[in-house]
Chain A
Amino acid sequence: MDPLSAAGGGLDAGRLRRLQLAGIASGFAAGAWLGAAEAPTKMVTLGLSPVVISLTMVLGVFLARWSLPALLRGTAAIGADVRQAPHLVVWAVLAGCLWAVANTLTVFAIRDIGLSIAFPLWNANSLLGILWGAVFFNELRGAGWSRRLGVLGGAVLMCVGATLLAIASSAGAAGGHAARGVAAALAAGALWGTMYIPYRKAYLTGMNPLAFVTFFTVGEVGMMTALALTDRGGLGPLVTELAGARDVLFWLLLGGFVWVVGDLFQQYAAKYIGISRGIPLSNTNQLWGLAWGLLVFGELRGRSAATHSQVIGGSLLMALGAAAIALASATGAEHRRWHEAAEREGSRYGIDPAYVRAALAGETGATTGRRSWLDWTLVGGATAVFIGFGAIARVPSLSVSWGWVVVLVAALAVLLVGTGLLLWRTTRFNYRRLGRLGEVFGGYGRFAPLTC
């Protein structure tokens, strides 16, 4: 019997299958774009403080997180989402704070114990995400042993593969503060793994990913600024360091922008396949980061055969793990358990049940489809900042294989367009075009499921 034949929560089997496919494609696209975000940062060869590098990337992230949602959905639709469930703004800001602290801790972990030890420790976040998904949101419940084994086994395989890759790409020089480094890496993993609780909470309740990220980034940039001020010893030294590096800030902002594209896909993966599957698939970013390092920047050139074996073995294990997870998609029975979790959220926070149901079907939200002056101001402002810093950007003299840049950028473009189209056809990015604004707030049934 087709496991999807008894689809969950009123969804027909075909609709559930399309949503799962969109979620899985989003997870793989997220990995590619998150991994590519490292590439622009390699253009920064100055001795900038890691915390300042992180802050500048987060500023690029902030610009992208306000301009892309304004372009794709419009601030009116985001406002409509927030009015449905305003408490989720707090959750989004909280998730942003978790991300910022985790990202900063990884910098210190690498400094103290090296990438090869630190990475596997914080990469355990996917296992923690699986735990939270099962405990809090009914993920993997009713999934059957083969699918549970696929997800858990796949995640473990990916962790082992990631460890091999980290060892291979590590410089191997640890700073000599083992206890502090291990604590930082473990804390980063716990923070990142827990960050997915707000993600899943928001998406089960009905918030659109494009609305969630606009508030997520407020917590992200606020917390990152606070950490940078603390680390640099105040505003004056921080501004001085930023001003001294103004001709390379563009690369960091660009890295942040690329990262946001990946993160948007990650959000859709978390929404449609849950955090237990979405996180591990997004963690394939390490494979892509390695591909950029090896092929474009010539890293590991002249290293031993053992190192290359580790790279090949680690990559194969990660690919196998990702495939196992992708093939263990949620059944109708599991999806019904997701609906139970969503109904519990709706009941707890007094949210329109029709809105919650439509959200799980990927059909929630409505807008006039028009863009306001505010949307164009946000898009224009962010574009102007990027152009401004791009105009004064200095291109360092690095050995770059431009042929591989073309190949990898083409792969990114294919994933962006392909997955974007799939998401659009399946969910319309969760909005439908209405003729009159009044219909948006027109009473019960306004978010009635659509047929696709």
Chain B
Amino acid sequence: MAGERGRLDAMLRDAQFWVPVAVLLGGLVVFWWIR
């Protein structure tokens, strides 16, 4: 469990993780705008 929490922490600190998250949020905003 501690190992999994450590990996989760590492993922949240990983800059590469936030790139797809930001792009997904941007895509949802565009969807909301155009529908």
Contacts and interface: CB of A to CB of B under 8 A. Distances in A.
Interface string A342-357: 0000001110000000
B34 A191 contact: no
Contacts of A177: 34
A183 B3 CA distance: 41
Contact of A112 (B6, B19, B34): B34
Contacts of B21: 94
A132 to B, nearest CB: 8
Interface string A45-58: 00000000000000
A91 B12 CA distance: 11
B24 A101 contact: yes
Size class of the contact patch on chain B: 20 to 34
Contact of B27 (A105, A112, A348): A105
Given A105-B30, A183-B34, A194 B10 contact: no
Interface string B3-35: 110111011001011011101101110110111
Contact of B20 (A85, A104, A187, A198): A198
Main secondary structure of the interface of B (DSSP, over half): helix
Interface string A413-433: 000000000000000000000
A194 B30 contact: no
B10 A87 contact: yes
A443 to B, nearest CB: 16
A230 B35 contact: yes
B10 A94 contact: no
Contacts of B19: 132, 194, 197
Contact of B16 (A90, A184, A201, A230): A201
B35 A197 contact: no
Interface residues of A, number: 37
Nearest to A196: B20
A348 B23 contact: no
B24 A350 contact: no
A194 B34 contact: no
B16 A136 contact: yes
Nearest to A200: B16
Contacts of B34: 105, 108, 112, 177, 180-181, 183-184
B20 to A, nearest CB: 5
B35 A102 contact: no
Given A180-B34, A230-B35, A349-B7, A190 B16 contact: no
A221 interface: no
Given A94-B20, A180-B34, A198-B20, A191 B27 contact: yes
Contacts of A349: 7, 10-11
B31 A194 contact: no
A104 B31 contact: yes
A190 B27 contact: yes
A231 B3 CA distance: 41
Contacts of B24: 94, 97-98, 101, 191
A74 to B, nearest CB: 23
Contacts of A112: 34
A91 B6 CA distance: 16
Contacts of A187: 26-27, 30-31
A197 B14 contact: no
A348 B14 CA distance: 9
Contacts of A298: none
B7 A194 contact: no
Interface of A: 85-87, 90-91, 94-95, 97-98, 101-102, 104-105, 108, 112, 132, 136, 177, 180-181, 183-184, 187-188, 190-191, 194-195, 197-198, 201, 227, 230-231, 348-350
6 contacts: A101-B27, A180-B33, A184-B31, A191-B23, A191-B27, A197-B19
